[in-house]
Amino acid sequence: MARMKFICDAERCIECNGCVTACKNEHEVPWGVNRRRVVTLNDGVPGEKSISVACMHCSDAPCMAVCPVNCFYKTDEGVVLHDKDVCIGCGYCSYACPFGAPQFPAQGTFGVRGKMDKCTFCAGGPEANGSQAEFEKYGRNRLAEGKLPACAEMCSTKALLAGDGDVVADIFRNRVLKRDKGAEVWGWGTAYGSSKPGQAPAKQGGKS
Amino acid sequence: MSKTLLSVALLASLGLSACMEKPQISGTKSDAAPFTGTGNAPTAFVNGGWKAGDKTSWEQALRARAQDGQNDYAKSN
């Protein structure tokens, strides 16, 4: 299997926030924490574009690089996860992340800046798969249930694609060929090192 | 006298052992691979079509789910 990846198709996203709602409901994410959110560029202007943003589970994740307590790890499927028992809530990952993925709950051990919370690609965390402890700390482990992330599965227009990088890139490529436009994938280059899905990483200094 | 001292020392060592720190894990804990399934958790939410512990069947099930659920061109054409 290739790595797990997200693609958000800006040509299809209608800013319904279904992905945000699905995520919050599936994982019972507390008030004030948004693992996923929809961002609209040029809001109100004809031709505005919306994209759904969360942790992209980067190939070379900057959050992992800057964490002073080394609480991050990457699964064999390429999902970037972290151990909340190790996290000290310092916020370095928040500054390093180009997608604004790390969230800091305002309640809990560290008061105004709690232990970091972020999208897990619905893969839970370092507790027993499907256990109550895993659900309470990280949310539901849908991958271990043989399912894909709830946000993508609930997306009404299928703008948000999630799954094996080869599969989602193939679906997106087919779309672009059929409609003959909208080949740009926001964040793909930043997260996975290539300007187009399924192609080799861009050279250093290239456009995202 | 020496027996009393010895018993006191034994009791003290036993008593102090209860004050030891809990074992601390350095670094992240190991995480079970998703293809191993949800273990003893309720299986009501588990998607069928694959066998827990069989990585190949899990991968195939996820690929099929991605195509069936997300590739609308495959459904409409």
- What would the DSSP string read from start to end of B6-54? HHHHHHHHHHHHTTPPPP---SPPP---GGG--TTS-GGG--SSS-TT-
Whole-model pTM: value is 0.84
Whether B67 sits inside 8 A of A153 (CB atoms) is no
**pLDDT confidence bin for A208, thresholds 50/70/90:** very low
Does the distance separating the beta carbons of A82 and B28 come in below 8 Å? yes
Residue A156 pLDDT > 70, yes or no? Answer: yes
Which residues on chain A are in Cβ contact (under 8 Å) with B35?
A: 144
Neighbours of B50 (CB within 10 A): 21
Range from A60-69, A151-160, B2-11 carrying the lowest mean pLDDT: B2-11
- Give the tens place of pLDDT for each residue, A38-83: 999 999 999 899 999 999 999 999 999 999 999 999 999 999 999 9
The pLDDT confidence band at residue A206, using thresholds 50, 70 and 90, is very low
Residue of B nearest to A1 (CA): B59
On the 0-12 / 13-18 / 19+ scale of CB atoms within 10 A, A144 is: buried
Cβ contacts (< 8 Å) between A148 and chain B: which residues? Answer: 62, 65-66, 69-70
Percent of chain B with pLDDT over 90: 30
Is the CB of residue A159 less than 8 Å from the CB of residue A13?
Answer: yes
